[in-house]
Structure 1
């Protein structure tokens, strides 16, 4: 009998040992990623770990289009007349910086663990999916738990990128599974061939298991049938040892108090064709143009603004906040959230203020947008709102 018990103990120990080895490697979207490229590990808190990967062994190179890919360490071309002296009020600090730094030649990757899975319950959408009243109503009747609402500005044309300084806030969610985003969309194509690259900040508990304001990027090449945030799948080539995708900002704005913002940009390097993402003029990394069908060339549409998801809990509009949670009509700086120093990059690689702008607000009684007349901070607007109120039900 003792032999049987000893064998059972041995078998249990072996099973646990094998499990721990497999778990340590990290499972992301059903794919095992080896930890052989990890140079250093930084323990942030009980729920967050940053692994510093050798830049040449980053997981994205497992993408079939990126085998034998030669890394572009920095953009080779910058847009002309791009405003780089208006980087805002933020000394760019992410929370994990308090616990350590990644060495040069490595990239910080936020580890996805068993308790912090990458399976997502919601997804961002491009505003055009509900631009017509009919499509919005159809969406509500079919999928009431995934209604997206927007307060954005839109431009159509031929573009090589965009830049804006975005106010940083920590909006409150009514339901943890709802989403609040402030971002830039770069898009091309229509229908199933819609391509987008998106960058900004978001609060989204299903992805991060908390309600912190975090830097994110996202891309799709097939109208969100397959989409990827941060480094949850292969494709984005990370180059910065300073900035981690999916990590929280250390400094945020306060109501009628100090305002914090950061400059986000997406632009196409005309020499390499890569779409670079930058924060506070720090090149974070790029999407190779080979990942896309339509964005392999240029963008034909750019959007700036806010997005939320409305699950209509108990049959009424959500109280999930967009931006600061206050309408532009309540006041400007320190009250309502803003985008300023907005620029688009035209087909000649020259940065310009937006023109021929259209606003898109799905429900102005819940969230609204107001373009400033004087543009003292470049082209700018205030946006956001509280959601449910006496006029928004």
Structure 2
């Protein structure tokens, strides 16, 4: 009899193991997840071994675990949009991300990229801007000054704004391993030192975060918590996933791809919305901020790289297309077109009293497009290490 029970127990163990394996395969194939532990995930989409998208019930997304968002009522769209923004600013490019080829998230869910690669977000934030960045000390930094290994080619405007937007050229720049980054962004900031608030909307290449060197949609907030690593950002789009690859980027002297990025504040709620190509991705509730709940002090547009000098020289990390504005414009160097700030009356307009900041012009540079063929804009970028950039 004991042999019978032992055999029965062994058979049941095998059956249970097979059941678990089949269940895991079903999760990756994109079928409905029934496990109580994953009841918030309605569907899973596998792109490759490094990219898996979980479609979360919008009302059970991890961001809502933030203590300030208990019982938060989700807004499904901005209650007000800026005035004087041209709808044709989105151009002909249909924005897609690579995961779209493998499935879609149902209505009422939001796509969240699963963190497959072991990634230390604390390490990453260490390599983002320090508390005292170049933007907080504009009168003390001179050309060729580098703040904690970060280098910039940006324009900035000072004042009280409700946000900004720009059409940003999409590229796939070379980034040197192991921890360097290349970013093109809009950056909204307020406050200083320990009371410093910021929001960024951008594309970036960052191997430590994603496990590859692809160009991805990225956003960060107050303390440089990136994408959905920290609670607080309320994701509402079922079409756009943070941290996921763009399916198309520009080619040198070939087809140019760009997307309109926008950060804007809705006055009646105080919420800060992040949008790309006319799609409202989500928002930061006003309650998360100390300074941005009131107003901005500055908005920046442009490129940033992190130079680790791991090989005893300047990094070869490219900014933008990897080509200087002096080498040529459209199709050669990267661009920001239709740059606008949103004033206190919720009207989008060309920036005024623009300040240009280039931390190391021998490595990366920026030139204003004086022709204004595509609204207010500029060309920027560079190759990094060269004879003049040792």
Give the alignment's TM-score, normalised by structure 1.
0.87
Whether 1:85 aligns to 2:82 is: no
Deviations 1:145-189 (A, max 9, x none): x50000000100110010000000000012231010000000111
Q: Partner residue of 1:287?
A: 284
Whether 1:353 aligns to 2:350 is: yes
Shift in Å at residue 235 of structure 1? Answer: 0.3
Q: Contact (CA 8 Å) 1:180, 1:308: kept in 2 or not?
A: yes
Whether 1:112 aligns to 2:134 is: no
Residue 52 of structure 2, aligned match among 49, 53, 59: 49
Q: Partner residue of 1:302?
A: 299
Q: Contact (CA 8 Å) 2:146, 2:359: kept in 1 or not?
A: no
Q: Contact (CA 8 Å) 2:143, 2:358: kept in 1 or not?
A: no
Shift in Å at residue 269 of structure 1? Answer: 1.0
Superposition RMSD in Å: 2.6
Tell me the secondary structure at the aligned position of residue 151 of structure 1: strand
Q: Contact (CA 8 Å) 1:88, 1:260: kept in 2 or not?
A: no
Q: Partner residue of 2:30?
A: none
Q: Partner residue of 2:219?
A: 217
Q: Contact (CA 8 Å) 1:342, 1:353: kept in 2 or not?
A: yes
Q: Contact (CA 8 Å) 2:144, 2:361: kept in 1 or not?
A: no
Distance verdict in 2 for CA 1:187–1:377, change over 3 Å: same
Q: Contact (CA 8 Å) 2:205, 2:214: kept in 1 or not?
A: yes
Matched ranges for 1:212-291 at <5 A = 212-220=214-222, 224=223, 227-291=224-288
- Distance in 1 (alpha carbons) for counterparts of 2:343 and 2:209: 34
Tell me the secondary structure at the aligned position of residue 234 of structure 1: coil
Q: Contact (CA 8 Å) 2:121, 2:229: kept in 1 or not?
A: no
Q: Contact (CA 8 Å) 1:118, 1:232: kept in 2 or not?
A: no
Whether 1:65 aligns to 2:68 is: yes
Q: Partner residue of 1:168?
A: 170
Q: Contact (CA 8 Å) 2:190, 2:295: kept in 1 or not?
A: yes
Distance verdict in 2 for CA 1:34–1:135, change over 3 Å: farther
- Distance in 2 (alpha carbons) for counterparts of 1:196 and 1:135: 24
Q: Partner residue of 1:28?
A: none
- Distance in 1 (alpha carbons) for counterparts of 2:142 and 2:329: 33
Whether 1:196 aligns to 2:198 is: yes
Q: Partner residue of 2:141?
A: 133
Tell me the secondary structure at the aligned position of residue 38 of structure 2: coil
Distance verdict in 2 for CA 1:138–1:151, change over 3 Å: closer
- Distance in 1 (alpha carbons) for counterparts of 2:143 and 2:189: 19
Gaps of at least 5 residues in structure 2 are 28-35
- Distance in 2 (alpha carbons) for counterparts of 1:51 and 1:74: 22
Distance verdict in 2 for CA 1:78–1:175, change over 3 Å: same
Q: Contact (CA 8 Å) 1:176, 1:204: kept in 2 or not?
A: no
Whether 1:36 aligns to 2:44 is: no
Tell me the secondary structure at the aligned position of residue 231 of structure 1: coil
Q: Contact (CA 8 Å) 1:130, 1:136: kept in 2 or not?
A: no
Deviations 1:319-360 (A, max 9, x none): 110000000000000000000001000011111100000000
Shift in Å at residue 118 of structure 1? Answer: 4.8
Q: Which moved more, 1:79-88 or 1:373-382?
A: 79-88
Q: Contact (CA 8 Å) 1:127, 1:150: kept in 2 or not?
A: no
Residue 387 of structure 1, aligned match among 355, 359, 384: 384
- Distance in 1 (alpha carbons) for counterparts of 2:320 and 2:54: 31
Tell me the secondary structure at the aligned position of residue 72 of structure 2: coil
Tell me the secondary structure at the aligned position of residue 221 of structure 2: strand
